[in-house]
Amino acid sequence: MTDAIEIEALRKTYKGSKGQPPKEALKGIDLTIPRGSIFGLLGPNGAGKSTMINILAGLVIKSSGKVKIWGFDQDVNPRQSRAAIGVMPQELNLDPFFTPRGALEVQAGLYGVPKKDRRSDEILDLIGLTDKADAYARTLSGGMRRRLLLGKALVHNPQILVLDEPTAGVDIELRQMLWTNVRRLNEERGMTIILTTHYLEEAQEMCDEIAIINHGALIKRDTTKNLLDLMDAKTLLIEPQGAAPAQFDLPEGVRMERKKDGTFVFDYSRGKTSANAILDAVKAAGIVIEDVRTMEPDLEDVFVELTSGK
């Protein structure tokens, strides 16, 4: 089965305006996103996330590279590739004079959905706006407007739903509602979900797989589980007093390295062994311990480490 999204050597350079130099927002990204997944695109502000999804949505023209959406090459089948994707944008760009029902109908029209195939009532129900179907958008709360944006992204029944920073500035209740809806769309309709966020927690909670981008480059792409396993990784540093043997028995799964200054560096998994077990092994080898330090990265640290200095 082909992937939902196939991106190859994707580059985008924005022209510099008012004497500014050109801005290289994407520097050759290769990425595939499997069908049926909930995929997180993680990165700090300015990393290039919006540029990437705007290219997917056909709103920004790429400088070079290849983009296939649901198997359709954007350059060869622009209409089909656009029809396969729906985007819930970051900004609340709603026409204040439309009602939710009106906004959904107009959007469906823009996507060429014939009247008989429109599902406005179903969508209004899904986003919890049936009661407000005929109220002007300007009378809707911020949360309701966000839900309407989600509804608009769904009018053409896309296979892929993209959510750009869906919970930025959103209260807990709305966040929960959004996630419930998104999970339902994924589980019941098999919709592929892509979300951008700079909250690790959010990506952790929602996504099967995560790609981390920074300064326009892909830093890491892995299953959420593997990234969390990285969190499980711990490091213990032991400085020996005097001479110490180069090799000795260690608990299973512990990796040992020796720094130039003689410090032992033990990498181990918290789930499998403990610092005490390593200390015992060190003592059993006859080593006198001068100093002990531990390092415990959480995903935030992993992220900072991966994205710093690149």
Ligand X SMILES: Nc1ncnc2c1ncn2[C@@H]1O[C@H](COP(=O)(O)OP(=O)(O)OP(=O)(O)O)[C@@H](O)[C@H]1O
- What is the phi/psi pair of residue 232, to 5°? -75, -15
Q: Toward ligand X, which CB reaches closer, 47 or 88?
A: 47
Minimum CB distance to ligand X smaller for 49 or for 118: 49
Among 51, 74, 99, 273, interactor with ligand X by CB under 6 A: 51
Q: What is the closest distance, in whole angstroms, from the C-beta atom of residue 143 to ligand X in the complex?
A: 21
Give buried/exposed letters for 255-293 (b at 16+ CB in 10 A, else e): ebeeeeeeebebebeeeebeeeebbebbeeeebeeeeee
Contact window for ligand X (CB under 6 A) among 44-52, 69-77, 131-139, 199-207: 44-52
* Count of H-run helices and E-run strands, the chain: 10, 14
Q: Does 87 bind ligand X (CB under 6 A)?
A: no
* Residue of 33, 37, 38, 50 that binds ligand X (CB under 6 A): 50
**Residue number, 30 or 131, with CB nearest to ligand X:** 30
The residue with its CB nearest to ligand X is: 50
Task: Give every CB contact of residue 77 below 8 A, 6+ residues apart in sequence.
Answer: none
- Least gap, CB of 26 to ligand X (angstroms): 8
Q: Which of 4, 31, 47, 185 binds ligand X (CB under 6 A)?
A: 47
Nearer to ligand X, 89 or 151 (CB): 89
Near ligand X by CB under 6 A: residue from 40, 48, 151, 166? 48
Q: Which helix (H) or strand (E) holds 191?
A: none
Strands 192-197 and 38-42: parallel
Please state the length of the chain: 310
What residues from 163 to 182 belong to the interface with ligand X (CB under 6 A)? none
Using CB under 6 A as the criterion, what x/- string covers residues 109-128 for binding ligand X? Answer: --------------------
Q: How many CB atoms lie within 10 A of CB 74?
A: 19
- Residues with Cβ within 8 Å of 174's Cβ and at least 6 positions away in sequence, in order, are 143, 146, 147, 167
> Which one, 50 or 99, has the nearer CB to ligand X?
50
Nearer to ligand X, 120 or 214 (CB): 214
CA distance 68 to 93: 27
Take residue 168 and report the two structure tokens written for it. 């930025």
Closest by CA position to 88, among listed 110, 57, 58:
57
CA distance 3 to 187: 17
Confirm or reject binding of residue 49 to ligand X (CB under 6 A): yes
| Contact code string over 20-39 relative to ligand X, x by CB under 6 A | ---x-x--------------
Task: Count residues near ligand X (CB under 6 A).
Answer: 11
What CA–CA distance (Å, rounded) separates 170 from 143?
7
The helix or strand, by DSSP H or E, that contains position 61, with its residue range, turns out to be none
Smaller CB distance to ligand X: residue 27 or 35? Answer: 27
Residue range at the interface with ligand X (CB under 6 A); choices 49-57, 80-88, 175-183, 285-293 = 49-57
Q: How far is the CB of 114 from ligand X (least distance, A)?
A: 34
Strands (E), 50-145: 64-69, 72-73, 85-88
- Indicate the residue among 129 and 195 with the shorter CB distance to ligand X: 195
Q: Which member of 3, 6, 14, 143 binds ligand X (CB under 6 A)?
A: 14
Give the binding site for ligand X (CB under 6 A). 14, 23, 25, 43, 45-51
